[in-house]
Amino acid sequence: MRSRALGLALGFVADQMFGDPQRFHPVAGFGQVAAAVEQRMYADDKLCGVAHSALLVGSTGLLGLAADRFSRRRPIANAILTAAATWPVIGGRSLGREADAVHNFLDAGELPAARQQLTHLVGRDTSRLDESEVSRATIESVAENTSDAVVAPLLAGAFGGIGGLLAYRAANTLDAMVGHHNTRYESFGWASARLDDVLNVPGSRLSAALATVLAPTIGGQPVNALRVWRRDAKRHPSPNAGPVEASFAGAMNLTLGGVNCYGERLEDRHTLGDGPPATAKDIKRSVKLARNVGIAATVVAAVIASRPRWA
């Protein structure tokens, strides 16, 4: 179990040092496999979507479980394999880089370039956003993806080892691919979207709690972050993004949320927080808070993983 904890920590450090692997990224490879399987299994039916999700998430998790069992009596090998799985599964460094790039364009007065860069982070229409809306969207993405791409997979690895890491990332990737509210995926993607929601419950709550506790590291107040989280999170349409974005809004003393445009669909996410609208300089603060949350989550995950009665 201590080798698992060490592997999670080493994987987090590798991500912070190098970001996502530039070549032969396993998540990209999984996406290609998932797309090929979808072509063979697709039908406008929830049951087919359940089978699609179960096949891909289950087989990926079993592959990780086999790696864990193979290295169970080889602590060094287990730590290396766990680190090798953790590094591409989490994405904190790349998230920070994308957010910093948006900030740099805004800081240089290049709003059109910032809008285009923002498309790397969000699925909403960015073509008509002003500087404040671009900043808001960036901060919301940093908050939500800190939970989805850092904290939640670390917890999955702490409790489930390599199998947990790989199964979580498979489920999260499938949600990004098919978990959409549109004509093609409303039924077929239902299972993937619901599975991702369930798996992200622990990570989103831990992310919100850590953002609340760590609010002073960016000049915020935990009491304000907790108040906004408790009051506003339930208004957000996402049960997991709501707590994280609300706690970030309270910790940063900003107002986030509002109406987002997704093609022809408008989504009212309500307002989160009481502070002023976001500005470009707030993006840097959100990246710092996200990094601190990631470090703290790694410590929590390592503690869980090192205790056999928990993991």
Q: What is the rounded average pLDDT of the residues 280-287?
A: 96
Whole-number average pLDDT of the chain: 93
Q: Is the pLDDT of residue 309 over 60?
A: no
pLDDT tens figures, 205-226 = 999 999 999 999 999 999 999 9
pLDDT tens figures, 78-101 = 999 999 999 999 999 999 999 999
Q: What is the rounded average pLDDT of the residues 6-25?
A: 90
Percentage with pLDDT > 90 across the chain: 85
* C-beta of residue 270 within 8 angstroms of C-beta of residue 184: no
Q: Mean pLDDT check: name the lowest of 37-46, 216-225, 266-275, 280-289.
A: 266-275
277 forms beta bridges with 255
Q: How far apart are CA 242 and CA 80, in angstroms?
A: 35
Q: Mean pLDDT check: name the lowest of 27-36, 200-209, 253-262, 294-303.
A: 253-262
Domain ranges of the chain: 2-305
Q: What dihedral angle (degrees, nearest 10) is formed by the CA atoms of 97, 296, 212, 266?
A: 40
Q: What is the rounded average pLDDT of the residues 6-18?
A: 95
Q: How far apart are CA 282 and CA 137, in angstroms?
A: 11
Q: What is the rounded average pLDDT of the residues 261-283?
A: 87
According to the model, what pLDDT value does residue 247 have?
Answer: 98
Q: Mean pLDDT check: name the lowest of 12-26, 96-110, 188-202.
A: 12-26
pLDDT tens figures, 223-244 = 999 999 999 999 998 999 999 9
Percentage with pLDDT > 70 across the chain: 98
According to the model, what pLDDT value does residue 308 have?
Answer: 65
Q: Which two tokens stand for residue 122?
A: 């969000």
Q: Residue by residue, what is the 3-state secondary structure of the chain?
A: CHHHHHHHHHHHHHHHHHCCCCCCCHHHHHHHHHHHHHHHHCCCCHHHHHHHHHHHHHHHHHHHHHHHHHCCCCHHHHHHHHHHHHHHHCCHHHHHHHHHHHHHHHHCCCHHHHHHHHCCCCCCCCCCCCHHHHHHHHHHHHHHHHHHHHHHHHHHHHHHHHHHHHHHHHHHHHHHHHCCCCCCHHHHCHHHHHHHHHHCHHHHHHHHHHHHHCHHHHCCCHHHHHHHHHHHHHHCCCCCHHHHHHHHHHHHCCEEEEEEEECCEEEEEEEECCCCECCHHHHHHHHHHHHHHHHHHHHHHHHHHCCCCCC
Q: What is the rounded average pLDDT of the residues 282-307?
A: 96
According to the model, what pLDDT value does residue 28 have?
Answer: 87
